[in-house]
Chains A and B, each alone.
Chain A
Amino acid sequence: MKTLLFFFMLSASVASQAADATESAHAGIPADQLNFFEKNIRPVLVESCYKCHSESQKVKGGLTLDTKQAMQLGGESGHPGVTPGNLAESTIYEAMTWKNDDMQMPPKQKLPDDVIANFKKWIEMGAPDPRETTVVNSNGGKRVIDMDEGRKHWAFQKPVKQTPPTVKTEGWAKTDIDKFVLAGMEAKGLHPVRDADRPTLIRRIAFDLTGLPPTPDEVRTFVADQSPDAVKRVVDMYLDSERYGERWARHWLDVARYAESSGKETNVLYPHAWRYRDYVVESFKKDKPYDQFLKEQIAGDLMKSENKRDQAEKIVATGFLAIGSKGHNQRDRRQFAMDLVDEQIDAMSQSMLGLTLACARCHDHKFDPVTQRDYYALAGIFLSSETLYGTYSQLQNANPSTLIEIDRAANQIASLAKLTPAEVAQLKSRYAEASATATKIREEVRSQSMASRDSQSAANFLRVRSSFDRADSMKADMDLFYDDGAPRTLAMGVLDRTTPVNTPILVRGDIKQPGDIVPRGLVEVLCAKGEPLNISPQSGSGRLDLAYWIASKDNPLTARVMANRVWLKLMGSGLVTTPDNFGTMGQKPSHPELLDYLAVSFMENGWSVKKLVREIMMSRAYQTGSVHDAANYAVDPDNKYHWRMSQRRLDAEEIRDAMLAVSGVINYYPVDGSPVARAGEGRTGIIEVLREVNSNPQTYRSIYLPIIRDQIPEFLSVFDFPDASLVNGDRETTNVPSQSLFLMNNGQVQGMADAFAQRIAKFEGDPQERLSYAYQLAFGREPTAGEKQAISNFWTRFPQEAAKNKSIPKDKIQGMALSAFCQGLFASAEFRYLN
């Protein structure tokens, strides 16, 4: 562990000084007291404590007990270990007595009572201790964070506009980006491979921008277009496509840990989360400036709006803070609130700043210059806001909340159909009935005799509880509609509380151990020295200040982190390979100047993501081939220097969407909202959703599939859909047998292969032309001679083998073979890898 390493480093210097320190300085300690210490105290310390609390062994909790000073100072809790003559101020004594549930030492077995009595006596006599030495670290074991030193970390300094380097190789570099990349290659003795051919390039561009394969027509046009503007034209075409927003929104949803349920133990549904998803799609489609996009997600409710519609959009944006996973069955409201805030800080800091600020919840950050003050200053901001996520009270949900109702005049789309007034009346009467029944049952239980109540306690409890749960679920249904039957527009999000609060630091993150109160504020290391950190009392919660501070050109991280995310998605790996961690434990950038160049030009271009995407795509570095090169490979096997385009496995959504598109059944216009919204709140809803999704094949794009935590649709989860509770800027791409089994045997895949086969069968032309059509659809190219041979072998052998199964009618064999062939194309590596 790194922490131990740190302490070992510390201990080396302490040890050398300790050797110098003599223990002869016994002056002033009476002989009988010295004797008492040597006889009753020291042996116990050596025997029972040093293993975990000494410089030479371990320093748990920042506490060392092998010198007088360190022992008196105490550990990370900030409380003195021993205060001579004062038992109450001696945490070591308290720990020994095991009176505090959270601090019982030694942890495995309590010391004998007479030993504890000796310690009591010793402290009361003034804790005489001959183990004098100088204490090197006046904070005890606690790490001291030097902010000036901390600000020197590369990522905490503002990006500087860089001039492209000069390169030796002439003629290769087309854009500034290329000069940076080429210079990197030249420094390592690498050379770029040849450019990608046209069919490969358009396939790459189409998937990267839309998540879908190019149509055969698009490929034909592009291959035929010999003008110098051909690439730019095709890039612009896809950037302007409706499909671009759906593809790029998904990248953000990965880092926003988007899902439509709470996850964790109870996993209650969030039927209104989809509004946030649609907001993200719309934002990317419109190319909303990224700084604006971030501000809205943190404090959209506090920003000025142009009209009701705009206001609604900004409120929905704050859903970012409300959709995280939560333990709804937490009985301690305060603990729930702190966990919620922790989740918000974690998601916000990792996604927007590339920092793991949540690490500072229990102690100062172990690696980054982030203190507990920083953490609780931010926590105060979020605690001063109310997070609204919906759900209603149930046996396993002790933490429901309301939702934000959006003005009807904002004219938002709805997931639910309008009801008739009669149906509304029916909902109301059902609720009234259920509510009356619940009250009646409670009265019945109350009127039972004490004795029978005791013996029936658990059963009674459940009876009352379930009847109220039922009434609450009816009320939740009823509250979804206006009296006239129109569905209300409800959204998840945050609103400021009337009175902002500051929170104390919690020692070890424990709500039972509050320390000093911290004013609401910003993260110190990211502010210039001397800049005020605290939120002014006029600012309410301070969320708006936080939003502007993050989405600022002065913030050294924000633009860099996003530029790196975009680079990663297009180039296969990030300039910083840890996209969610730019702290000291993250990786250093492979091309720091290029990263700065991209970040600065991103900001100069008005934080336009589309412009950034276009700039990268127009570089020759993006347009190179992906072929192997032995000499380059020997030097840079990971392709850190981008001497070729890395082969990219399509994301789960792309694989599914491509199958739908190729088989011709894709539906670009699903019903508004989400199946989760139609299933309603509560836990039983999950069954409804999965039933809807599993019973009939869905043909809409994967981004609109219901994302229920721990119940991710199989098609997505099998191809490495990320854990929807965690920020994830770089998906895994595994090759596991479960994927092969899925492609070989799953009914959904077979169904799409059937549809693909029908499309081919209907195509007018001879067998060669049909084969060519299938290849154009699936791969955007013609089959090679070798492939034709393999396909011809398949056509000879497969029908023979299939015919051995006598239960298959003869006239079905050809159709089956065609479907098996189409499934084979889906299953091939080329279908799911981009060159």
Chain B
Amino acid sequence: MNTVSPSRREFLKTTSSGFGYLAFAALAHQQALHGNPAAGPLMPKQSHFPARAKHVIFLCMQGAPSHVDTFDYKPKLVADAGKQAPSAAGRYGRATLMPSQWKFSQHGRSGMWISELWPNLAKHADDLCMLNSMATDLPAHPQAFTQLHTGTTQFVRPSLGAWTLYGLGTQNQNLPGFVTINPPGNATRTFGSAFLPAIYQGTKVGGPTIPGLPAAAARRFGGGTEQATVANIKNNRFTTEAQRTQLDLVQSLNQSAMQQSGGVSAEVEGVIESYELAFRMQAEVPKVMDLSKETEATKALYGIGDGDTDAFGKQCLMARKFVEAGVRFIEITHGNWDHHFNLKAGLERNCNQVDKPVAGLLADLKSRGLLKDTLVIWGGEFGRTPHSQGDDGRDHNNKGFSMWMAGGGVKGGMNYGMTDDYGYEAILNKMHIHDWHATVLALLGLDHERLTYRYAGRDFRLTDVYGTVAKEIII
């Protein structure tokens, strides 16, 4: 991203054809005449400093995965099993320390401790930058989920993806720059642009259209994406050629409108441009989302075709294809990690659904040389308590939990920060969500204190007045 953005004219040359090209050529000519090289709001922008990562894939685990059973190895929790929890007692009864039911072992040259729930991912231990000291403000799902995405629990603010797109633009003007796959219902704030211009909001792929409907609920809990698509991307009436004929009519009328307003109208130009982009998106989006041309080996790598891993595997593969196509920010949501009870069966099921696809994604990105430019992030809104809730569950814990990042300029095989002996609270290099946001932006070449937007009379930031970049984890 520290390269100079392609000029508008070059862009027009490379992306236009047919009628649209003529319209564009006329447009570019006018702009040259008026000395107004106005770049579109999504054109690639210069970052504040050289970027480590050009793309982000955020694997968002909604419901708060248990860190003490996955990535935060606590031998003392096993040793002190059954003892009274030193931390605050659970909300629903007397709480005692509950050891993890899964064995941890060391992996890779780094010797990173990972539980047996992640046999495939563990092979990539040396690529993972494990953040063991995460913290967020509140132990309540909706607020914490919102904070994870926007930095605040309270106000309507732009999401991480929207800020990223606003800061950097995107490389492929035929595709949306921020894609969110399978977002949960009633969480538009996780991909919304709030006061940023609407063009920076995430484009939904799949996910429930009507929250609460049974089918939607099923999809949300790790279901399929067979019908997943971008809204209105397909015309169900006309062939492409017939639609092009219709669009040519529309563009002729637009040209006529332009002439009537004296030959110059930024607004009409915008309309003309927008139709051509949309028309190209119609062709491009299904291509990117079409997984049928992938080899069987690739599909197998992601666990596509196996019942448990099929759905998430497809989403991960789609994410890789979006990265290849130049999309800036991709988020995939995987739900149902809220294991108040049924921890054993529930966590095993979830990890099983995610482990192979994620490992496949890392391997695939690496073999294509994409991992170095792509920041892959895994994590949820908070973690779970070291003490038990009932016989087989853990409660919410916002004071300490784990996330990991890989590729995109982070150090692999590293554990950053730590929690106390039981995994209750971050005690070393605590990384609040604000710090994490600052660090993600830094990896993208953006200074979180300079990435501002003026709204209601003040300059807003993703990190508000907080945020410290964890320089130690950046290569």
Q: Chain A interface (Cβ within 8 Å of chain B)?
A: 1-2, 108-109, 263-267, 325, 327, 329, 331, 339, 350, 356, 359, 366-367, 396, 453-459, 461, 578, 580-581, 583, 585-586, 626-629, 633, 647, 649, 683-684, 686-687, 690-691, 694, 710-711, 714, 720, 723, 725-726, 732-742, 744-747, 750, 784, 786-787, 790-791, 793-794, 797-798, 801-802, 804-805, 816, 820-821, 823-825, 827-830, 832-833, 835
Known: A744-B246, A827-B275. 9 other contacts (CB 8 A): A356-B458, A459-B341, A710-B186, A723-B156, A723-B195, A742-B231, A742-B232, A744-B279, A816-B237
Distance between B360 CB and nearest chain A CB, rounded to angstroms: 31
Given known pairs A1-B459, A458-B389, the reply for A740 and B274 (CB within 8 Å) is yes
Query: Is B234 positioned at the interface, with any CB of A under 8 Å from its CB?
Result: yes
Q: How far is the CA of A790 from the CA of B262 in the complex (A)?
A: 20
List B contacts of A793 (CB < 8 A).
248-249, 252
- In the bound assembly, the distance between CA atoms of A741 and B283 in angstroms comes to 12
- Do residues B457 and A367 form an inter-chain contact, with CB atoms below 8 A? yes
Query: In the complex the two chains form, is A734's CB within 8 Å of B212's CB?
Result: no
Q: Does B449 contact A (CB under 8 A)?
A: yes
Q: Which residues of B contact A734 (CB under 8 A)?
A: 197-199
Known: A1-B449, A647-B267, A829-B271. A628 touches B262 (CB 8 A): yes
Closest residue of chain A to B194, judged by CB? A723
A830 and B390 in contact, given A329-B142, A690-B210 (Cβ under 8 angstroms): no
Instruction: Give chain B nearest CB distance to A51 CB in angstroms.
Output: 11
CB distance from A557 to the nearest CB of B (A): 14
Kindly identify, within residues 140 to 195 of chain B, every residue whose CB is under 8 Å from any CB belonging to chain A: 140-143, 146, 154, 156, 176, 186-189, 192, 194-195
In the bound assembly, the distance between CA atoms of A266 and B341 in angstroms comes to 23
How far, in angstroms, from A356 to B154 measured CA to CA in the complex? 17
Known: A580-B456, A691-B210, A735-B270. A827 touches B156 (CB 8 A): no
Is B233's beta carbon under 8 Å from chain A? Answer: yes
What is the total number of residues of chain B having a CB less than 8 Å from a CB of chain A?
Answer: 90
When C-beta atoms are compared, the residue in chain B nearest to A685 turns out to be B212
B142 pairs with A265, CB closer than 8 A: yes
Q: Which of B105-113, B253-261, B310-318, B324-332 contacts A (4 or more CB under 8 A)?
A: B253-261
Question: What residues of A have a CB within 8 angstroms of the CB of B267 in the complex?
Answer: 647, 649, 733, 735, 829, 833
Residues from chain A with Cβ under 8 Å of B465 in the complex? 1
Whether B278 lies near A454 (C-beta < 8 A) is no
A1, A329, A714, most chain B CB atoms within 10 A: A1
- What would be 15 A-B contacts, judged by CB atoms less than 8 Å apart? A265-B146, A459-B390, A581-B457, A683-B212, A710-B189, A714-B231, A726-B156, A735-B270, A740-B274, A794-B246, A801-B244, A802-B238, A805-B242, A816-B237, A829-B258
- Distance in angstroms from A61 CB to nearest chain B CB is 10
Closest chain-A Cβ to B257's Cβ sits at a distance in Å of 5
> Which B residues are CB-close (under 8 A) to A829?
253-254, 257-258, 267-268, 271-272
B93 in contact with A454 (CB, 8 Å):
yes
Q: Which of B188, B246, B260 contacts A824 (CB 8 A)?
A: B246
The interface residues of chain A lying within 8 Å CB-to-CB of B231 are: 714, 738, 741-742
Chain B residues positioned under 8 Å from A454 (CB to CB): 93-94, 390
State A690–B210 Cα separation when bound (angstroms).
Answer: 7
Alpha-carbon distance between A750 and B211 when the two chains are bound, in angstroms: 25
Known contacts A454-B93, A626-B261, A828-B257; A798 and B246 CB within 8 A of each other: yes
Q: Is B250 among interface residues, defined by CB-CB distance under 8 A?
A: yes
Q: State how many angstroms separate the Cβ of B464 from the closest Cβ of chain A.
A: 11
CA distance A746 to B231 in the complex (A): 9
Contact assessment for B156 and A325 in the assembled complex, using a CB-CB cutoff below 8 Å: yes
Contacts of A825 in B (CB 8 A): 253
Contacts of A458 in B (CB 8 A): 92, 340-341, 389-390, 393
CB pair B245–A797 under 8 Å, yes or no, is yes
In the complex, A108 Cα to B142 Cα: how many Å? 26
Given contact pairs A734-B197, A802-B238, A829-B254, A647 touches B142 in the complex (Cβ within 8 A):
no
Closest CB of chain B to A264's CB: distance in Å?
A: 7
Knowing A797-B245, A820-B242, the reply to whether A264 touches B390 (Cβ < 8 A) is: no
Contacts of B141 in A (CB 8 A): 265
Contact A367 B458 (CB under 8 A): yes
0/1 string, B221-236, CB within 8 A of A gives 1: 0000000001111111
Q: How far is the CA of A128 from the CA of B247 in the complex (A)?
A: 81
Least CB distance from B253 to A in Å reads: 4
Contact pick for B93, options A367, A453, A626, A787, CB 8 Å: A453
State whether A740 touches B236 (Cβ < 8 A): no
Q: What's the minimum C-beta distance from A164 to chain B, rounded to whole angstroms?
A: 30
Give the distance in Å from the alpha carbon of A174 to the alpha carbon of B210 in the complex.
54
> Is B254 in contact with A737, judged by CB distance below 8 angstroms?
no
A736 and B246 contact, CB distance less than 8 A: no
CA distance A453 to B389 in the complex (A): 11
B186: chain A residues within 8 A (beta carbon): 267, 686, 710-711
With a cutoff of 8 Å between Cβ atoms, the chain A residues found around residue B273 in the complex are 735
A832–B268 Cα distance when bound, in Å, is 10
B244, B257, B457: the one contacting A585 at CB < 8 Å is: B457
Tell me whether A737 and B281 are in contact (CB under 8 A). Answer: yes
Which residues of chain A are within 8 angstroms of B390 by Cβ–Cβ distance?
Answer: 454-459
Report if B468 contacts A (CB, 8 A): yes
Task: Out of A359, A456, A738, name the residue touching B458 (CB < 8 Å).
Answer: A359
